[in-house]
C-alpha cells in the first residue's frame, strides 16, 4: 500500500491553535492561520522580524515580565534542545491600529525544539493558547472566593517560574565554576609522552546528568615507560570536581613509586576511604613499557580499555577487573594483567559516557566502540579521538561527561 503524500506546509497552516516557528535568533520564520488571526497580525508583519519587535513589552505596566520570561524559555530550548512549558503568562498586546493602546491578554505557552540533521536546534516551535476570555468569564460568573483563588494561583505560578529561573541560573554558575576547576586540574597531553603520539579529550555533560566527575592522567615513569589512567567519580558539580582532583593527584603520586598499576590502585583505595564522596569511584590504570612492548593494567570497576591492533582487530583489556573504590569493607590486593603489543597498535581508555546508554546493554556500546575503532584504524590519535566523540556520543538529549585518552603504541 502506497504511503499518502502529505503536504506538511498545508498541515501547518491548518493546525488548530496558535503555532509559530522562530529561528534560534528569535526571528519569526512562519505562523499558522490561527496564530495570525488571534494575534491580529498578517504574515508580512511577522515573518523575518524579531519577536519582541512585533510584540514589545507594555511600557505602562511596571511589573511586566512576559518578554523576559518568553525570551528565557526560548533560549533555554535552543541551549538544551529540550521542550520548555511555561507558567501562565500575562503579556499585553499592542493594538496594531492604535500604537498607544494596549490590550490585557493572558497566555499559556509551550516552546519546543525542531532539530536539524546534525542534532542542533534549527527552529523553535512556539505554541500558545490564549486564556484571556476564560479568565474573564470565570471572573464574571465565579464567586468572589473563586476569583481570589484564581488570582492567587496565577501569582503562585509566576513566583514558581521565577524560582525555577533562579535555580537554573544558580545551577549554571555552579556548573561553570566546576568546569573551570576541572579544566585547571586536568593535564594537557604532552608531545613527549609516548613514542608515536597521544591525545586526550574531555567532553562535559549535556542536560541534567553528572558533570565534572571524570578525569584522565598521563605521566612518565622511570625507564622507557609511561602510566596512564582514567577515572569517574560518582556525583556532580563542584563536589565531584574537588574529589576528582584529590584522587587524580593521589593516583599520580602513587604510580611514580608503585611496582605496578595494581599496587597504585591499592594505595588509591586506602586513600579514598578518607575522602568524602570518593566511594564507588571507578578507575583503570595502565603501565606501558616501550622496551618490552607490554601493557600492564588493573581496573577498579571501570569499563575496559580497548587495544586496537594494526590489522583492525580490537581486544578489550578485561582480565584484571575488581570492584570500585570503597566497595569492599576490607582491603584486598587488586589483580593486574599484562598483554603484549606490536608497534602501530592503539590504546584507548575512556569513561562510561562514551559507551553507555540508558536503554541498552553495555555490550552494545562496547561493540559500537570496537566497530568505530576498526573502521578508523588508520587515523592518527588526534583525528581518532575526534571521530570517537563525534560518532559515539548522542547528537541530542542528555549525555554523561566523557574523558578519553588515545595513545599510538
Among 262, 284, 273, 277, smallest CA distance to 352 is for 284
Does residue 169 share a domain with residue 92? Answer: no
Domain that holds residue 57: 8-140
Residue 1 inside a domain? The answer is no
Residue 106 inside a domain? The answer is yes
pLDDT of 48 reads 94
Task: Say how many CA atoms lie within 13 Å of 350 toward its Cβ.
Answer: 29
pLDDT of 208 reads 45
Give me the mean pLDDT over the 59-76 stretch: 83
Is the pTM here over 0.85, yes or no? no
Does residue 16 share a domain with residue 132? Answer: yes
Nearest-angstrom CA–CA distance, 122 and 118: 10
402 Cα distance to chain centroid: 10
Classify residue 396 by burial, with Cβ atoms within 10 Å: 0-12, 13-18, 19+. Answer: middle
Does residue 284 carry a pLDDT above 90? yes
Does residue 32 share a domain with residue 111? Answer: yes
Q: Fill in the DSSP letter of residue 354.
A: G
Nearest-angstrom CA–CA distance, 347 and 358: 26
pLDDT of 191 reads 47
Does residue 117 share a domain with residue 57? Answer: yes
Residue 192 inside a domain? The answer is yes
pLDDT band at 58 (very low <50, low <70, confident <90, very high): confident
Which stretch of DSSP H or E encloses residue 110? strand 106-115
Does residue 160 share a domain with residue 195? Answer: no
Least-confidence region, from 55-69, 133-147, 324-338, 361-375: 133-147
First to last CA, the chain: 56
Average pLDDT, rounded, for the chain: 81
Does residue 353 share a domain with residue 257? Answer: yes
163 Cα distance to chain centroid: 23
Give me the mean pLDDT over the 310-319 stretch: 93
What is the count of structural domains for the chain?
3
Does residue 218 carry a pLDDT above 80? yes
Q: Output the domain CATH number for residue 80.
A: 3.30.450.20
Nearest-angstrom CA–CA distance, 68 and 70: 6
Does residue 170 carry a pLDDT above 80? no
Give me the mean pLDDT over the 92-121 stretch: 82
Instruction: Judge contact between 250 and 315, C-beta under 8 A.
Output: no
Domain closes at, from 132, 161, 185: 185
pLDDT of 138 reads 57
Domain closes at, from 108, 140, 172: 140
pLDDT of 80 reads 85
- Write the pLDDT tens digit of every residue in 8-49: 888 888 888 889 999 999 999 999 999 998 888 899 999 999
Residue 3 inside a domain? The answer is no
pLDDT band at 209 (very low <50, low <70, confident <90, very high): very low
pLDDT of 179 reads 59
Q: Fill in the DSSP letter of residue 1.
A: -
Does residue 151 share a domain with residue 237? Answer: no
Does residue 154 share a domain with residue 199? Answer: no
Residue 328 inside a domain? The answer is yes
Does residue 109 share a domain with residue 226? Answer: no
Q: Where does 64-143 have alpha helices with state H?
A: 66-80, 132-141
Does residue 360 share a domain with residue 255? Answer: yes
Name the percent of the chain lying above pLDDT 70.
Answer: 79
Amino acid at each position: 500500500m502506497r504511503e499518502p503524500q502529505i503536504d506538511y506546509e498545508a498541515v501547518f497552516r491548518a493546525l488548530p491553535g496558535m503555532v509559530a516557528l522562530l529561528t534560534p535568533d528569535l526571528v519569526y520564520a512562519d505562523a499558522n492561520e490561527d496564530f495570525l488571526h488571534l494575534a491580529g497580525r498578517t504574515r508580512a508583519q511577522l515573518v523575518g522580524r524579531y519577536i519582541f519587535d512585533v510584540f514589545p513589552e507594555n511600557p505602562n505596566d511596571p511589573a511586566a515580565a512576559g518578554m523576559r520570561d518568553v525570551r528565557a524559555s526560548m533560549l533555554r530550548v535552543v541551549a538544551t534542545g529540550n521542550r520548555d512549558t511555561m507558567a501562565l503568562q500575562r503579556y499585553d498586546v499592542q493594538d496594531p491600529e492604535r500604537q498607544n493602546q494596549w490590550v490585557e491578554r493572558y497566555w499559556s505557552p509551550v516552546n519546543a525544539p525542531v532539530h536539524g540533521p546534525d542534532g542542533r536546534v534549527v527552529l523553535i516551535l512556539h505554541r500558545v493558547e490564549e486564556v484571556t476570555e476564560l479568565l474573564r468569564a470565570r471572573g464574571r460568573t465565579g464567586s468572589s472566593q473563586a476569583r481570589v483563588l484564581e488570582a492567587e494561583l496565577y501569582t503562585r505560578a509566576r513566583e514558581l517560574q521565577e524560582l525555577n529561573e533562579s535555580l537554573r541560573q544558580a545551577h549554571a554558575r555552579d556548573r561553570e565554576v566546576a568546569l573551570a576547576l576541572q579544566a585547571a586540574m586536568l593535564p594537557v597531553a604532552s608531545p613527549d609522552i609516548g613514542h608515536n603520539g597521544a591525545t586526550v579529550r574531555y567532553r562535559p555533560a549535556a542536560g541534567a546528568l553528572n558533570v565534572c566527575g571524570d578525569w584522565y592522567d598521563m605521566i612518565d615513569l622511570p625507564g622507557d615507560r609511561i602510566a596512564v589512567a582514567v577515572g569517574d567519580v560518582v556525583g556532580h558539580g563542584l563536589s565531584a570536581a574537588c574529589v576528582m582532583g584529590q584522587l587524580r593527584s593521589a593516583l599520580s603520586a602513587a604510580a611514580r613509586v608503585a611496582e605496578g598499576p595494581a599496587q597504585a590502585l591499592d594505595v588509591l583505595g586506602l586513600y579514598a576511604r578518607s575522602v568524602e564522596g570518593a566511594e564507588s569511584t571507578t578507575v583503570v590504570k595502565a603501565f606501558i613499557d616501550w622496551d618490552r612492548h607490554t601493557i600492564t593494567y588493573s581496573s577498579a570497576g571501570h569499563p575496559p580499555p580497548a587495544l586496537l591492533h594494526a590489522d583492525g582487530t580490537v581486544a578489550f583489556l578485561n582480565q584484571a577487573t575488581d570492584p570500585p573504590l570503597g566497595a569492599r569493607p576490607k582491603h584486598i590486593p587488586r589483580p593486574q594483567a599484562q598483554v603484549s603489543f606490536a608497534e602501530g597498535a592503539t590504546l584507548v581508555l575512556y569513561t562510561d559516557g562514551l559507551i553507555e546508554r540508558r536503554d541498552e546493554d553495555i555490550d552494545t556500546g562496547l561493540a559500537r566502540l570496537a566497530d568505530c575503532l576498526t573502521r578508523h584504524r588508520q587515523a592518527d590519535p588526534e583525528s581518532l579521538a575526534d571521530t570517537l566523540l563525534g560518532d559515539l556520543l548522542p547528537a541530542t538529549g542528555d549525555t554523561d561527561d566523557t574523558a578519553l585518552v588515545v595513545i599510538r603504541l
